[in-house]
Amino acid sequence: MGKSTVISMAVVRRLPRYRRYLSELLENGVDRISSKELSERMNLTASQIRQDFNCFGDFGQQGYGYNVKELYNEIARIIGLNKSYNTVVVGAGNIGQAIANYSSFGKLGFNLVAIFDVNPKLIGLKFRDIDIRDVDDLDSYLDENKIDIGIICVPKAQAQRTADIFQDKGIKAIWNFAPIDLKVQEGVVIENVHLSDSLLTLSYRLNEAELFGTEEK
Amino acid sequence: MGKSTVISMAVVRRLPRYRRYLSELLENGVDRISSKELSERMNLTASQIRQDFNCFGDFGQQGYGYNVKELYNEIARIIGLNKSYNTVVVGAGNIGQAIANYSSFGKLGFNLVAIFDVNPKLIGLKFRDIDIRDVDDLDSYLDENKIDIGIICVPKAQAQRTADIFQDKGIKAIWNFAPIDLKVQEGVVIENVHLSDSLLTLSYRLNEAELFGTEEK
């Protein structure tokens, strides 16, 4: 107990970034790093970094900095990388195939165990050794297999129905690539990758100076 | 002048969401909507919505609500969708191909005009009518063609070099899919889609209750 469970999403979103930077430091043979050095690399303030880590416990020693390997392991544990996860992708289109192709997710412990699609030409084929199954069999597959994370790569019209099946079958985490904000039950976490929103944010920012009739940012 | 140019990123990131919802309302033949109705659909407060729109000007009338078509057009203009953009993708791997395949980006005015890769087996082929070119020709291509948005889909080791070429050749907007935080010059805007960060955020949130020894959120 003791610690509050409410970690702000801003802090949460920095955790994977910390992991990335620490992983690079490890690859480069760096054993130890100060919050100041880490802050310069990450474009954060040192006090921000110390505050973030303090949400989760006591890391580092005054005047010594952080032991990179220990800190990496601790952050990885906090993120949940000490476990492994079974995942399924629904929708074997562009983005579904791209996700299925990411071997780095497997290395992190996210094991893609099945892909589902509606297209009869794809059903029954394998994609990198993973069966492409009929989406009509998703319910029964989830009855028989323990899946931790459901990945939605279907068009937006089918996305809520897919999310509903996931939730009905006890999946507690949904990674959604459909361009829609899905309704999920209490206790189910959802993370969206809205590609077109991201592109339009870029477009806005490209035009911002012009919009306000000044070059200033 | 008058208006400040500093619109918070939180507001900016909601603009594409507003556009999505308004586009759906238009598709469903809805002519008019109150900030209250819109807020319920979008899971924001009505006052938040009014504040957001006030950053950009006067929309809507007291007691009447918003004219959906007008509001849609205004948001689209603010985002910059009244123009068109030439884009190039560098890196024709999983995600590069997925991005190149998104026909909806073309409909929004983002025209993919070339794809670059290092793989000799791909160079010279076409992908959906778009030439796949040798990445060694990126510099000269950018000298001869006006490109608005550069899309980085290469591995992280090549990402900064690609970003540097884009910037040297005057590209002011970069959409980055490599799992790295790139350095960009003042005046260049960058928008990242870090898929593994997104997946690890989901993983953290799935484990959060357990981490703190309580089910509460």
pLDDT tens across the length of chain A (217 residues)? 344 457 888 899 999 999 999 999 999 999 999 989 999 999 999 999 988 988 887 776 667 789 999 999 999 999 999 999 999 999 999 899 999 998 889 999 999 999 999 999 999 999 989 999 999 999 999 999 999 999 999 999 999 999 999 999 999 999 999 999 999 999 999 999 999 999 999 999 999 877 776 544 4
Give the relative orientation of helices B9-27 and B46-54 as an angle to the nearest 10 degrees: 110
Q: Beta strands of B3-148 (E only): which ranges?
A: 32-33, 66-67, 85-90, 110-117, 126-127, 130-134
State whether residue A162 is helix, strand or coil.
helix
- A139 within 8 A of A169, measured Cβ to Cβ: yes
pLDDT at A209: 74
Domain(s) labelled CATH 1.10.10.10 in chain B stretch across: 9-77
Is B80 part of any known ligand binding site?
no
Nearest chain B CA: its distance from A178 CA (Å): 12
Name which of B5, B99, B101 is nearest A214 (Cβ-Cβ): B5
d(CA B14, CA A212): 18
d(CA B38, CA A194): 20
pLDDT at A214: 53
Residue B2 has pLDDT above 50, yes or no: no
Q: Tell me the CATH number of domain B9-77, given options 2.20.28.120, 1.50.10.10, 1.10.10.10, 1.10.3720.10.
A: 1.10.10.10
d(CA B108, CA A151): 26
Neighboring chain A residues of B172 at a CB cutoff of 8 Å: 206
pLDDT tens-digit series, residues A61-116: 667 789 999 999 999 999 999 999 999 999 999 899 999 998 889 999 999 999 99
Residue B124 has pLDDT above 80, yes or no: yes
Mean pLDDT in residue range B23-46 = 93
Strands A66-67 and A32-33: antiparallel
Neighboring chain A residues of B213 at a CB cutoff of 8 Å: 1
Is A12 in contact with B201 (Cβ distance < 8 A)? Answer: yes
pLDDT at A1: 39
- A65-69 contacts, C-beta under 8 A, 24 or more apart: A65/A32, A65/A33, A65/A34, A65/A35, A65/A37, A66/A32, A66/A33, A66/A34, A66/A35, A66/A38, A67/A31, A67/A32, A68/A22, A68/A25, A68/A26, A68/A30, A68/A31, A68/A32, A68/A33, A69/A26, A69/A31
Judge residue A35's burial from the number of C-beta atoms within 10 Å of its C-beta, 0-12 exposed, 13-18 middle, 19 or more buried: buried
Domain(s) labelled CATH 3.40.50.720 in chain B stretch across: 85-197
Kindly provide the ipTM of the predicted complex, given to two decimals.
0.93
Neighboring chain A residues of B178 at a CB cutoff of 8 Å: none
Judge residue A143's burial from the number of C-beta atoms within 10 Å of its C-beta, 0-12 exposed, 13-18 middle, 19 or more buried: exposed
pLDDT at A99: 95
- A141 within 8 A of A106, measured Cβ to Cβ: no
pLDDT at A63: 73
pLDDT at A6: 72
Judge residue B135's burial from the number of C-beta atoms within 10 Å of its C-beta, 0-12 exposed, 13-18 middle, 19 or more buried: buried
Is A150 part of any known ligand binding site?
no
Residue B80 has pLDDT above 60, yes or no: yes
- Cβ neighbours, 10 Å, residue A186: 5
pLDDT at A5: 55
The CATH number of the domain covering residues in A85-197: 3.40.50.720
Residue B207 has pLDDT above 70, yes or no: yes
d(CA A131, CA B65): 50
More confident residue, B209 or A217: B209
Residue B59 has pLDDT above 90, yes or no: no
Nearest chain B CA: its distance from A63 CA (Å): 28
Nearest chain A CA: its distance from B73 CA (Å): 14
The DSSP call for residue A136 is G
Is A99 in contact with B212 (Cβ distance < 8 A)? Answer: no
Name which of B3, B81, B206 is nearest A189 (Cβ-Cβ): B206
Strands B173-176 and B189-192: parallel
pLDDT at A194: 96
Average per-residue pLDDT in chain B? Answer: 91
Nearest chain B CA: its distance from A196 CA (Å): 7
Is B42 in contact with A102 (Cβ distance < 8 A)? Answer: no
Is A33 part of any known ligand binding site?
no
Nearest chain B CA: its distance from A183 CA (Å): 10
pLDDT at B5: 55
pLDDT at B210: 75
d(CA B108, CA B64): 29
More confident residue, B23 or A56: B23
d(CA A203, CA A134): 38
Interface test with A, best of B201, B215, B217 (most A CBs within 10 A): B201
Class of the CATH domain delimited by A9-78: mainly alpha
pLDDT at B4: 46
Q: What band does B54 get if pLDDT is binned at 50, 70 and 90?
A: confident
Of B104, B61, B57, the C-alpha closest to B78 is B57
Neighboring chain B residues of A200 at a CB cutoff of 8 Å: 15-16, 19, 79, 81, 108
Is A170 part of any known ligand binding site?
no
Q: What band does B64 get if pLDDT is binned at 50, 70 and 90?
A: confident
